[in-house]
Structures are given as structure tokens and as C-alpha cells.
């Protein structure tokens, strides 16, 4: 188990830091909309992850429905509801991308949202991670957000942060 903990301590810590950065951006009304491995850089000096390329970002309070009429983001990390209607913008788009990223880091491949293959079958010690990822990539109405204050959302977000803290 020590090997497993050492092996995953850094990626889970980095993911927690990414969630903290997103919580800050979302609290300011900013949705990144293009989270993917290429847009996360880890500084060598202090091992701090940096979210890059806010070129596709959207300010939720702008209210201009005509601003985006075509799909923005990398398709593999964009939820179904946004692929269907690119005007559908919310912080849940970033949460979906984070779920895809976390699965990819652990499973070394992207998950299939509609045909989810549990990671616990492949990687021992991650029984709780599947629940977190499944909620992050769930249909929009079931997907949690960070720091929204609603009990369901907060419970899922707190479970995610607690799991990351206890695993790292």
C-alpha cells in the first residue's frame, strides 16, 4: 500500500490544487471551457499546477447569448449537453473536464461516460475514486459544482476533497 500511496500522492495533490484554482475562477464567474492535459503546467520550482489558456473562457455574468454559437473546447473533455448546445455554459463544464482528466491520469485513457469502466477493477486502493469521477462526468443535472452552497453539490465536492486529502 505504501507504493500505491507514493505513486498517487502527487497526482491526487495536483488534482486537488486544480480544483482549488477552479473554485476560485468559478467564484469570480469564470468558466475555463478547455481544460485538458495540455492546458495544465506544473511549475518545477514548487510543483504548483498552473491552469493555462483562458482563451476559450467565458464570464458567466456577460449575458450575451450570441457570444458562442459553435462548440468551444476539446471534444473529449466537453460534456454532452454542451456538444448538443454550445450556448449551454456553466461551471459544470469544467467539472466534467476534471473528471475526465482524473480518470485519464489514473487509468491512462479517457473514460466512456455512457459505458463507465471502474478504475477499482484495475488499480487497487481507489475504490472511492470511481464514485467521484462518475459524479463529475454524470449528466448535467447530477453533476456537482464546487462551492455552490447547495447541499448535494457541497456534499459531493466535500467528498471529493476529503478523498483526495486522505489518499494523498
86 with 72: CB under 8 angstroms? yes
Which one is catalytic: 34, 94, 130, 153?
34
- Please give the C-alpha separations between residue 152 and each of 55, 146, 158, in angstroms, as whole numbers: 31, 11, 10
CA distance 54 to 44: 21
Would you call 78 exposed, middle or buried from its count of C-beta atoms within 10 A (0-12, 13-18, 19+)?
buried
The tally of CA atoms less than 13 A away on the side-chain side of residue 25 is: 25
Is the CB of residue 31 less than 8 Å from the CB of residue 42?
no
34 belongs to the catalytic site: yes
Tell me the C-alpha distance between 147 and 35, whole Å. 19
Task: Using the structure block, give the residue that is written with the C-alpha cell 459524479.
Answer: 135
| Cα–Cα dist 56/146, whole Å | 20
Catalytic residue list? 34
Amino acid at each position: 500500500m505504501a507504493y500505491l500511496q507514493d505513486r498517487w500522492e502527487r497526482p491526487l495533490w495536483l488534482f486537488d490544487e486544480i480544483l482549488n484554482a477552479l473554485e476560485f475562477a468559478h467564484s469570480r464567474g469564470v468558466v475555463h471551457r478547455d481544460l485538458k492535459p495540455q492546458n495544465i503546467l506544473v511549475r518545477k520550482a514548487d510543483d504548483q499546477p498552473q491552469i493555462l489558456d483562458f482563451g476559450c473562457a467565458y464570464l458567466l455574468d456577460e449575458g450575451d447569448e450570441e457570444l458562442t454559437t459553435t462548440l468551444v473546447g476539446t471534444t473529449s473533455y466537453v460534456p454532452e449537453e454542451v456538444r448538443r448546445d454550445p450556448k449551454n455554459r456553466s461551471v459544470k463544464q469544467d467539472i466534467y473536464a476534471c473528471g475526465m482528466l482524473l480518470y485519464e491520469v489514473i487509468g491512462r485513457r479517457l473514460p466512456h461516460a455512457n459505458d463507465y469502466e471502474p478504475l477499482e477493477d484495475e488499480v487497487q486502493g481507489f475504490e472511492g475514486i470511481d464514485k467521484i469521477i462518475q459524479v463529475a462526468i454524470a449528466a448535467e443535472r447530477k453533476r456537482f459544482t464546487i462551492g455552490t452552497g447547495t447541499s448535494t453539490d457541497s456534499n459531493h465536492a466535500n467528498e471529493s476533497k476529503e478523498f483526495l486529502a486522505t489518499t494523498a
